[in-house]
Amino acid sequence: MTEQSIVSQDMTLKRLFQDFYRVPDYQREYVWGEADAKGEGGDQVDQFLSDIHIEFEAATKHFAPEYFIGTIVVCKGEDQVFELIDGQQRTTTAYLTLCAIRDALTDIGAAVPEELGNQIAASTIDWQGLTTYRLRLDVQYEDAGGVLQGYAEGKAAETPRDGSRSIRNLGGAYDTVREFLSTTFGEDKAQLLRFYGYLTNKVKVIRIETPTIAKALKIFETINDRGVGLDAMDLLKNLLFMHAKGQEFTELKSVWKALTDEIYAVNEKPLRFLRYYLLATFDLDSKLREDAIYDWFQKNPKLTGHTTEPLAFAKRLREAARAYANFSRGKNVLGQPEPGIENTRLLGGQSIKQHFMLLLAGRHLPAPQFTRLAAEVEKTMFVWLVTWVSAKEYERKIVDAAHKLRHIKPDEFDAFIAETFVKERADLAPQFARTMKEMKSTWLRQFRLRYLLAKITQAVDLQAYGPSESRDRLADYTAGGNDIEHIMAAGADAAAIAEFGEHAQDEAIIQSLGNLLLIEKSINRSISNTQYSEKVKSYAQSKFLLTRCQADTTAQLVGVADQITKTVQALDCWPKWTAADVEARQLFLTRLACRVWDVPVVEEVVPA
């Protein structure tokens, strides 16, 4: 082979596993068999075997169709072992299948063909006459933990299945193959051997051998152009290694692993992180799709520096990934509790993460400004969700704000907040007021309704008593120990219905926000669905001031000018409970919500 030659060979698995291979430590892990974030996929191993078996069943005594499983790209090292640059998923799966067939034959008492053993491991002699025993396939990424060797040596029962992603996935793949063989062939030795014969003689790959790793990586990129079979995160990793200097490989591998570990540790999608990072860092249109990310990198190397300084770019990406992972935990950049971020997580659930772009764009702000940014994000996100602003629209607003925030100087921060968040809430104030006045519990998902009531309840407590460990965390209010109480319940008893009067069983009234309050679960269990005049006696036992003041505020007054008294005097109360009172309390909660989420009070919610 000349210095710059590329050799392409069409070969069977029998021929393929006459050579030795290793998956370099900078490659991505073995991922076949792993479901995605939605719990979908994860059946590649079973599909691989099923497709081969379909062709196997079409074979006759005199003819067997060949089956092509794809292309692999390799580069031979000085020790004559091929570096496997592309195709490790199918190659590893084929190798595990050989190990599983050997074990299945052993378990049913059949002789294992010598050829099969040699396809799994063999001895080689170098030019100095030294003998080395090695596996035909060796995976060198750290999180594999040497488990492939356990399967290769016939020690599957002793090989761990728990641990890193690779350990779990390799174990899952091996177990899938064993289950397939057992289900398909049972203890039929002849058929199992026949399947092995078909697999090794008729299943084929195209092996492309290059003279250098750089050229192998370039071919890998070409084969996987536009992300076919791989996503932008995998292709970006390859792109960085393609432009890195040889001496940078070890550090680049370490940086990339740390980056992905940060994201996987919080069950986040790497591609979502990468998209949010780009939108937060560069002046890109919010329409950038995940499947267009790799093309963007290809066209904008000067912006990112990923071709001239791939290691430096990877380090910047890792720093952003660490911050992103902290945001996912409700923390700030340094991993410290950040109420605004934690509260937005309680508000948005697991699906709403667009505000992370703003947090990424502002992660270098001084701590007090970052805390204010997080709080403003929380308030504005709630207003967007309550006023039914579409996800597409508020994502566009977030991206625009992130672009502005990157260029904001410390003395311009207050103006940025006023122009971006305060103005946005003011513009939506009329719609916010109308929605809150008409709000029904069925309009919001349960966790978001809980957030709404908890936030209002917490705000009253904080105003009256000030900060404390038991009041500072909104999560303590939204926790399972507290219930959303329907003051007039759907299944109310006869006494409650008689006391409430007209519209007692009107579902619209029962589900109105004005008919809801937050109360401890232990108290809620004791009051059941009885009449209001009895319920309020238990409400008075609540630790939440807003709930205690539901029917009577006078008992909560302490002095003349103390903060508790001032807070209580600003609260409305309802000694009786009718449809008109539900409406009045909803108006009261609307005014309170405007104060809590810093929305200007419009004329229609000002009391007459």
Helices 232-243 and 270-281: angle between axes, nearest 10 degrees: 70
List alpha helices for 124-231, DSSP H: 147-152, 165-185, 189-202, 213-223
Mean pLDDT (whole number) for 50-67:
88
Instruction: Assess whether pLDDT exceeds 90 at residue 312.
Output: yes
**Which tops the pLDDT comparison, 88 or 276?**
276
Domain assignment present for residue 385? The answer is no
Mean pLDDT (whole number) for 121-143:
80
Alpha carbon 261 to its chain centroid, in Å, reads 12
The CA distance from 296 to 290, in Å, is 10
Segment among 125-129, 223-227, 240-244, 572-576 with least mean pLDDT: 223-227
Q: In the structure, what pLDDT confidence band is assigned to residue 39 with cuts at 50, 70 and 90?
A: very low
* Domain closes at, from 193, 223, 253: 223
* Domain closes at, from 223, 249, 282: 223
What domain count does the chain have? 2
346 CB burial (10 A radius; 0-12, 13-18, 19+): buried
- 3-state SS, one letter per residue, for 482-543: EEEEECCCCCCCHHHHHHHCCCCCCHHHHCEHHHEEEEEHHHHHHHCCCCHHHHHHHHCCCC
Mean pLDDT (whole number) for 335-348:
96
Q: Phi first, then psi: what are they for 407, rounded to 5°?
A: -105, 5
Q: In the structure, what pLDDT confidence band is assigned to residue 40 with cuts at 50, 70 and 90?
A: very low
Q: How many CA atoms lie within 13 A of 270 on its CB side?
A: 21
Report the C-alpha dihedral over residues 554, 559, 564, 569, rounded to 10 degrees. 50
Instruction: Assess whether pLDDT exceeds 70 at residue 3.
Output: no
* Helix, coil or strand: residue 385: helix
Tens digit of each residue's pLDDT (9 = 90 or more) over 413-447: 999 999 999 999 999 999 999 999 999 999 999 99
Domain assignment present for residue 518? The answer is yes
Pairing relationship of beta strands 67-76 and 121-125 according to DSSP bridges: unpaired
The CA distance from 296 to 275, in Å, is 11
The CA distance from 608 to 605, in Å, is 9
**Which tops the pLDDT comparison, 18 or 130?**
18
Segment among 111-120, 282-291, 575-584 with least mean pLDDT: 282-291
Q: Residues for the chain: how many in total?
A: 608
Q: Which domain holds residue 517?
A: 438-605
- 3-state SS, one letter per residue, for 269-314: CHHHHHHHHHHHHCCCCCCCCHHHHHHHHHHCHHHHCCCCCHHHHH
Structure tokens at 435: 């929605």
Domain assignment present for residue 470? The answer is yes
Contacts by residues 60-66 (CB-CB < 8 Å, ≥ 24 positions apart): 64/198, 64/201, 64/202, 65/202, 66/202, 66/203, 66/204
* Helix, coil or strand: residue 117: helix
Tens digit of each residue's pLDDT (9 = 90 or more) over 468-502: 988 999 999 999 899 999 999 998 999 999 999 99
Put simply, whether the predicted model's pTM sits higher than 0.85 gets the answer no
- Give the per-residue pLDDT at 224: 60
Instruction: Assess whether pLDDT exceeds 70 at residue 11.
Output: yes
Mean pLDDT (whole number) for 138-162:
84
- Give the per-residue pLDDT at 142: 67
Pick left, alpha or beta for residue 227 (phi over 0 → left; psi -120 to 50 → alpha; otherwise beta). Answer: left
Tell the residue number behind the tokens 């926790």, with chain if given: 479
Domain assignment present for residue 445? The answer is yes
Distances (CA, A) of 377 to 94, 134, 353, 427, 432: 50, 57, 11, 16, 16
Which residues face 71 on adjacent strands? 206
Structure tokens at 94: 């084929």
Q: Which of 494, 487, 529, 532 is nearest to 510 (CA)?
A: 487
Q: Which of 139, 136, 107 is nearest to 124 (CA)?
A: 136
Domain assignment present for residue 215? The answer is yes
Instruction: Assess whether pLDDT exceeds 70 at residue 41.
Output: no
Distances (CA, A) of 106 to 17, 155, 179, 185, 434: 21, 12, 15, 14, 73
Tens digit of each residue's pLDDT (9 = 90 or more) over 536-575: 999 999 999 999 999 998 877 766 568 899 999 999 999 9
* Domain closes at, from 168, 195, 223: 223
**What does the DSSP 8-state code read for residue 87?**
-
Sign of CA dihedral 394, 604, 553, 515: negative
The CA distance from 414 to 408, in Å, is 10
Q: In the structure, what pLDDT confidence band is assigned to residue 37 with cuts at 50, 70 and 90?
A: very low
Domain assignment present for residue 404? The answer is no
Rg (the chain; Cα; Å): 32
- Give the per-residue pLDDT at 375: 98
- Give the per-residue pLDDT at 560: 58
Domain assignment present for residue 575? The answer is yes
The CA distance from 514 to 559, in Å, is 29
Instruction: Assess whether pLDDT exceeds 50 at residue 101.
Output: yes
Tens digit of each residue's pLDDT (9 = 90 or more) over 234-270: 778 878 988 888 889 889 989 998 998 999 899 888 8
Q: In the structure, what pLDDT confidence band is assigned to residue 605 with cuts at 50, 70 and 90?
A: low
Q: Are 568 and 552 in contact (CB under 8 A)?
A: no
Distances (CA, A) of 427 to 52, 108, 345, 384, 604: 62, 75, 24, 11, 15
Q: Phi first, then psi: what are they for 458, rounded to 5°?
A: -65, -40
Distances (CA, A) of 519 to 211, 453, 468: 71, 10, 19
Tens digit of each residue's pLDDT (9 = 90 or more) over 167-190: 888 999 999 999 999 988 989 999
Pairing relationship of beta strands 21-23 and 82-86 according to DSSP bridges: parallel
Segment among 10-19, 225-234, 255-264, 273-282 with least mean pLDDT: 225-234
Instruction: Give the chain's mean pLDDT.
Output: 89
Structure tokens at 323: 């911050």
Q: How many CA atoms lie within 13 A of 530 on its CB side?
A: 13
Q: Are 224 and 32 in contact (CB under 8 A)?
A: no
Domain assignment present for residue 113? The answer is yes
- Give the per-residue pLDDT at 226: 40
Q: In the structure, what pLDDT confidence band is assigned to residue 127 with cuts at 50, 70 and 90?
A: low
Q: Which of 461, 466, 508 is nearest to 488 (CA)?
A: 508
